[in-house]
Amino acid sequence: MTTDKTITVEQTGSAIGRPERQRQTLLGLGLTRIGRRRTLVDTPAVRGLIAKVAHLVKIVDGK
């Protein structure tokens, strides 16, 4: 099953001083520094990762 829905997320908070699990979640999303944006396939797994670090990222665009 292929889907063409994507979601763009931007890192808005620093990983410094955060628990290792949150740092690894940001890396899993492909975010390494504040201001970096990534366009990802909109799946439940990606939505779950975003929810875990919602205080460090924002959804810029969802198509």
What long-range pairs does 12-19 form, CB within 8 A, spacing at least 24? Answer: 12/56, 12/57, 12/58, 13/55, 13/56, 13/57, 14/56, 15/56, 18/56
CATH code at 6-62 = 3.30.1390.20
pLDDT band at 2 (very low <50, low <70, confident <90, very high): low
Q: Residue 56 pLDDT > 80, yes or no?
A: yes
Please report how many Cα atoms fall inside a 13 Å half-sphere around the Cα of residue 16, on the Cβ side. Answer: 3
Contact predicate 36/60, CB 8 Å: no
Between 4 and 52, the higher pLDDT residue? 52
Q: What pTM was computed for the model?
A: 0.87
Mean pLDDT of 19-40: 96
Q: Cα(63)–Cα(61) distance, rounded to whole angstroms? A: 7
Residue 24 in this model has a pLDDT that exceeds 80: yes
